[in-house]
Amino acid sequence: MKTPLKSSLRLSEKHATKSPVTMAVSPKMIKWFSQSWMLVVYVFLYMPIVTLVIFSFNDSQLAAVWSHASLRWYAALMKDNDLISAVLLSLKIAFLSALISVFFGTFTAFALNRYKRFQGRTLLSSMASTPLVMPDVIVGLSLLLMLVSLQHWLGYPERGLFTILLGHALLGTAYATVVVTSRLREMDSKLDEAAMDLGCQPFQVFRLVTLPLLVPALVSAFLLTFTLSFDDVVLSSFLSGPGYSTMPMVIFSRARLGLNPTINAVATVTITVVTIAVLASSFYTSRQERNRKREVAQAYSDMNK
Amino acid sequence: MATAPKANIVREDLLRVEGVTKIFDGAVKAVDNVSLTVATGEIFALLGGSGCGKSTLLRMLAGFETPTKGRIFLAGEDITDLPPYKRPINMMFQSYALFPHLTVWENIAFGLKRDGMPRDKIAERVEKMLALVQLTKFAQRKPHQLSGGQQQRVALARSLAKRPKLLLLDEPLGALDKKLRETTQLELVNIIEEVGVTCVLVTHDQEEAMTMASRIAVMHEGYFMQVGAPDEVYEMPNSRQVADFIGNVNIFDGVIEEDEADHVTVRSAECMHYVGHGISGHSGMSVGVALRPEKILLSKEKPTGDYNWCAGEVVEMVYFGAHTTYHLKLASGKVIKAQELNNTRDLSYGLTWGDTAYAHWNEHAMVVLTQ
Amino acid sequence: MKNISIRNNISSALRKLIDGRHFVIGVPYFWFLILALVPLLIVLKISLSEMESTEVSSLIEWANGWPTVKLNFASYMFIATDALYYQTYLSSLRYALMTTVICLIIAYPFAYFMARSPKHIQPTLLMLIMLPFWTSFLLRIYAWKTLLVNNGVINNILMSLGLIQDPIAMMNTPFSLMVGMVYSYLPFMILPLYANLSKLDMRYLEAAADLGTSPFKAFWLITVPLSKAGIIAGSMLVFIPAVGEYVIPELLGGSDTLMIGRVLWDEFFSNNDWPMASAVAVVMILLIMLPMAIYNKYQAESKA
């Protein structure tokens, strides 16, 4: 009745008062600028990786001067027993520390999320985030000094696989806590209540409802903590004992001395494995998501038939 | 409407709430000394705005919150300290809380499995529930593969599967769009009546409460302002707040002049009111006279008689299709609303902005509010 | 009778619930207490002792049956008086700050453009940022060596193009250090900024345009203030670890770039001076806690 009149009045007013905006830059230029900015950043991020891969096929002993293509560094890699045993040790530690991290991370996330108030909650949450904010050198130093004191009192543990594992598990727990917490937070607490309402005791709620829904978060926490452990050099250097060198430790000691073509070959192998894994998993999740969206749409169109 | 079987109810108290109070963080009184009884077979609605305490009360019935004070009895048994998983009460959650990793079938069977029911019995019961909500075809679907209305029916089936003594409904239609809501409302009531389960439902939507419930409790700041059948609460509100909360209302402030057994007269700044029923009051008492907009008639001619009319200027007209609401500015400056049915296609009463109109009503249209 | 049995059931269920609760809270508490808190306290303790041949002196000495606490502030005195430490802390903070600022300058437009890209390519763009993160950090830093050394890739390209006659000395300079730091920490700046900017409601900008604001002005008046949380989060994620960085200066920085992480490492591994290394660590923790406290205060304020 009255409204259309009013709003048309407002429209004309707006057009009258709005000053013409002078366009200093055309949308085309903005687009060109934004695309080249992004391109430059991507080149910056990928240039070192691509260089590593290319030079891993370089025949020259001089790691940064191209002569001609060969696979000699891969052959050298196959015979490099130090490096191979270091890789095996790193894989072992990464796998175990990822398992431990996910286990304790889930506990921590659960305690912090499900119990909103208990004595010392702030202390727990700040302890759980110290490994995230402290530089690696401090985490490594402090853990080592603790383990040395422990060994002084108890005669255990010897420095080696176990102590490296502890360090990585501590760091991993902190990260796993973050991943699981964010999933728990977005999970509907009504689901827990619904389960209880239908007769579940607290632990059954966890086993039958919370845990199955947490699986994707646990998988990504595992992958993240595995990578962190596989990548770490500082904590391992502090915590390892004689005879226990992880892959990053070996690479680090060689890289300190200068350029070394075998490192390029190791890098290429790692990069290939990781890229395939990441691409496969992101392909898988995006397909899941697409299927899900299609099914939701289907459900609504079914109803309207 | 859906309240027809009210007369057949066997009056036997199933739920008894005695003086329940819930205080959060030692300071916030969410529920304040509430008592109520719900008879077997009743559909009881807790109606109120957000933060009125209705959800907290429902959660105490379900066992998710423990009362700070007071007791809750179900079929004579004190269940106040019983955890939710031991109560013969089930809840249909707001936005349903269906388990996303389980199929429709598994969702409905979830509660039965916890009871350790034999497999064949579970299958039998689930099939029965699926038939009841007409979702047999969808048994193997996951919740996200269902439409909103279908999800709502799964939630209902899941909460009825264990044959609870009491069914709690938390905003049962809140997640549905307006059109779907009307059909679903009737469907829901039909199923509930077919099963014969006693219900307590929570809603902020007065229409939903009126159409579904046999009794309504209007809640405000943790206490019950009025409890009664839907028509009672609408036509005989006991306070300004209830009158204002349920539907639209014009309230005239006035003073009682005559106080007789069969009628009262009230003088307000706008006009004299002749109310055709007696009240518990006395002459000289300040009261409010509540008058619903749909009970006012408008005309261009000045009515005869000394009571129950006043004149005003039309300052606003709002067209709703089935009816039009006119805003009349009275001489005192007060604006009242009058709602007229559009019973012909000739839209206007011949009234338009700026016209003088006369509003009149009969002696049974008003309620005198003493508080 | 019935009432009593119900009461018993309740109390046993309640007891179970409380035990479950204690267990769930207790396990992570114990874990972090042993591995995070106690080690830091030990660092504090050792920083107050002195080195006695190969052992650290004890803080508590028993004299005539009474324990006396002996605190040794020698390490802290040394840090306070020796110009090397003072300068190293300062230069660590300076490098970390520079890294943060450069990352912000590169990352903000990048995240902004990314958030404005077509919706269907955004996941791919995001994945391309994350992908290097999953491959070894150490190897990527090492790769910069290949690029930056005197007879490295960049110098070779520039010389073959005839742009320069002699190789530019880039390796083992503050420049190579900054390249490595910015390179490593850039994703940590991009991700929170992107998360923040992609959530920005375009209607604010439309409303601004509708009210007669030019796009450039709208950017400064609306987009930037609304992305404050992302800017702060990104800066914290870059600044704090950058202060204590060890690997990047060790591989790319050369012997002249002073970073406190390296000093700590050398005190511990080369000089075997545990109290000194601990004291360096304690001071570093204090330096890191300052921006953390400011950040927490900001967060608490923005929540209120």
Nearest to C147 among A18, A51, A201 (CB): A51
From the list C183, C214, C216, which residue is nearest A44 (CB)? C183
What confidence tier does C1 reach under pLDDT thresholds 50, 70, 90?
very low
Chain mean position to CA B66: 25
CB contact under 8 A, B111 and A1: no
Q: Contact B83/C6, CB-based, under 8 Å?
A: no
> B residues 85-104 near C, CB within 8 Å?
86
Whether C17 has its CB under 8 Å from any CB of chain B: the answer is yes
Contact C203, C170 (CB under 8 A): no
Partner C contacted by B75 (CB < 8 A) = no
Do B115 and A199 lie within an 8 Å CB cutoff?
yes
The pLDDT tens digits for C259-300 are 999 999 998 998 888 899 999 999 999 988 888 888 778 777
Assess contact for A126 and C33: CB atoms under 8 A: no
What's the rounded mean pLDDT across residues C146-154?
Answer: 86
Average pLDDT, chain A: 85
Give the gap in angstroms from C-alpha C25 to the nearest C-alpha of chain B: 21
- How far is residue B125's CA from residue A152's CA, in Å, rounded to a whole number? 65
Answer whether A195 sits within 8 Å of B99, measured CB to CB: yes
- pLDDT tens-place string over residues C234-244: 999 899 889 99
Closest Cα in chain C, distance from residue B60 (Å): 16
Which residue of B lies nearest to A289 if distances are taken between CA atoms?
B144
- Using CB atoms, which chains have 3+ pairs under 8 A with A? B, C
Q: C6 in contact with B at a CB cutoff of 8 Å?
A: yes
Quote the pLDDT of residue A17.
43
A229 vs A305 pLDDT, higher one: A229
CA dihedral C142, C136, C268, C30 (to 10 degrees): 170
CA quadruple B192, B198, B203, B209: dihedral positive or negative?
positive
Q: Report pLDDT for C5.
A: 59
Q: Of the CATH numbers 3.30.420.10, 3.90.1150.10, 3.40.50.10800, 3.40.50.300, which one belongs to the domain with range B4-240?
A: 3.40.50.300
State residue A18's pLDDT score.
Answer: 43
Interchain proximity B83–C3, CB inside 8 Å = no
Q: Give me the CATH topology for the region B248-369.
A: OB fold (Dihydrolipoamide Acetyltransferase, E2P) (2.40.50)
- Residues C134, A227: C-beta atoms closer than 8 Å: yes
Taking the CA of residue A193 and the nearest CA in chain C, the distance in Å comes to 15
A9 CA to chain B: closest CA distance, Å? 19
Q: What are the tens digits of pLDDT across the range A39-76?
A: 999 999 999 999 989 988 988 777 667 778 888 889 98
Interface of B with A (CB under 8 A): 62-64, 83-85, 89-91, 93-95, 97-101, 110-111, 114-115, 141-142, 144-147, 149-150, 158-159, 162, 317-319, 353
Phi (first) and psi of residue B252, to 5 degrees? -100, 130
Provide the ipTM: 0.84
Q: Which of C39, C110, C123 sits opposite A146 (nearest CB)?
A: C39
Contacts of C136 (CB under 8 A, 6+ apart): A230, A231, A248, A251, A267, A270
In the predicted model, is pLDDT for residue A14 greater than 70?
no
Chain B residue nearest residue A211, CA to CA = B101
Interatomic CA distance for residues A183 and B232, integer angstroms: 48
CB-side neighbour CA atoms (13 Å) of A296: 9
Beta-carbon contacts of B116 under 8 Å, excluding residues fewer than 6 positions away, are none
How far is Cα B236 from Cα B367, in angstroms, rounded to an integer? 7
pLDDT-derived band at C3 (thresholds 50, 70, 90) equals low
d(CA B173, CA B152): 8
pLDDT tens digit sequence for C108-123: 999 999 998 998 899 8
Do the chains contact at B85 and A292, CB–CB below 8 Å? no
Show residues of chain A in contact with B163, CB under 8 Å: none
Contact C3 B86 (CB under 8 A): no
So what's the pLDDT on residue B304? Answer: 85
pLDDT digits (tens, 9 = 90+) for A168-192: 999 999 999 999 999 999 888 889 9
**Do residues B337 and B250 make contact, with C-beta atoms less than 8 angstroms apart?**
yes
Supply the pLDDT for residue B6.
46
Residues of B in contact with C9 (CB under 8 A): 86
Strand segments (E) across B204-271: 215-220, 223-228, 250-259, 264-268
Per-residue confidence (pLDDT) for residue C10, from 0 to 100:
62
Subunit contact A302:B93, Cβ cutoff 8 A: no
A contact test, residue of B56, B92, B107, B114 with most A CBs within 10 A: B114
Span(s) in chain B for CATH 2.40.50.100 = 248-369
Considering only CB atoms, B97 lies closest to which of A190, A208, A300, namely A190
Q: Which residues of A touch C132 (CB under 8 A)?
A: 45-46, 49
**In terms of CA atoms, which chain A residue is nearest residue B65?**
A193
pTM, full prediction: 0.82
Q: Where in chain B is the domain with CATH 3.40.50.300?
A: 4-240
Average pLDDT over residues C81-89: 88
Q: Which of A196, A213, A292 has its CB closest to that of B101?
A: A213
In this prediction, residue C8 has a pLDDT band, given cuts at 50, 70 and 90, of low
pLDDT tens column, B330-371:
988 899 999 988 887 776 557 888 889 999 998 899 999 887
Q: How far is A75 from chain B (nearest CA, A)?
A: 49
- For residue A2, what pLDDT is reported? 40
* Cβ-Cβ contacts under 8 Å, C136 against chain A: 230-231, 248, 251, 267, 270
Backbone region of residue B25 per phi and psi (left: phi > 0; alpha: psi in -120 to 50; beta: other values): left
Please identify among residues 134-153 of chain C the ones whose CB lies closer than 8 Å to any CB of chain A.
134-147, 149, 151-153
Residues 160-179, chain B, touching C (beta carbon < 8 A): none
For the residues of A76-123, what is the DSSP string, one character each?
A: HHHH-HHHHHHHHHHHHHHHHHHHHHHHHHHHHHHHHHH----TTHHH
Is the pLDDT at A22 greater than 70? The verdict is: no
Interchain CB distance below 8 Å, A1 and B99: no
Quick check: A137 and C137 CB within 8 A? no
Residues of chain B with pLDDT under 50: 1-10
Cis before A157 (ω within 30): yes
- Looking at residue C7, its pLDDT comes to 61
To the nearest whole Å, the CA of C17 is away from the closest chain B CA by 10
- Judged against a pLDDT cut of 60, whether residue C17 lies above it is answered with no
For testing contact with chain C, the best of B77, B81, B85 (most C CBs within 10 A): B81
Write down the pLDDT at residue B338: 92
* C12 interface with B at CB cutoff 8 Å: no
Q: Distance of CA A186 to CAs A2, A179, A181, A182, A189, Å?
A: 45, 11, 9, 6, 9
In this prediction, residue A9 carries a pLDDT of 41
The alpha carbon of residue A185 is apart from the nearest alpha carbon of chain C, in Å, by: 17
Q: What is the pLDDT of residue C12?
A: 64
* Architecture per CATH, A92-259: Orthogonal Bundle (1.10)
- Picking from A198, A210, A215 by the largest number of B CB atoms within 10 A of its own CB, the best residue to mutate is A198
Q: Where in chain C is the domain with CATH 1.10.3720.10?
A: 82-272
Cβ atoms within 10 Å of B358's Cβ, excluding its own: 16
Q: Give me the residues of A, 2-21, that contact C with CB < 8 A.
A: 14, 17-19, 21
CATH dotted code for C82-272: 1.10.3720.10
DSSP 8-class letter at B165: S
Residue of B nearest to C11 (CA): B81
Question: Is any Cβ of chain B less than 8 angstroms from the Cβ of C18?
Answer: no
Distances in Å between the alpha carbon of B213 and those of B8, B16, B46, C31?
A: 15, 18, 9, 54
Residues of B in contact with A218 (CB under 8 A): none
pLDDT at B314: 92
A193 to B97: CB separation less than 8 angstroms, yes or no: yes
- Cβ contact (<8 Å) for B110 and A193? no
Residues A81-89: what's their mean pLDDT? 93
Two structure tokens written together for A243: 């005879």
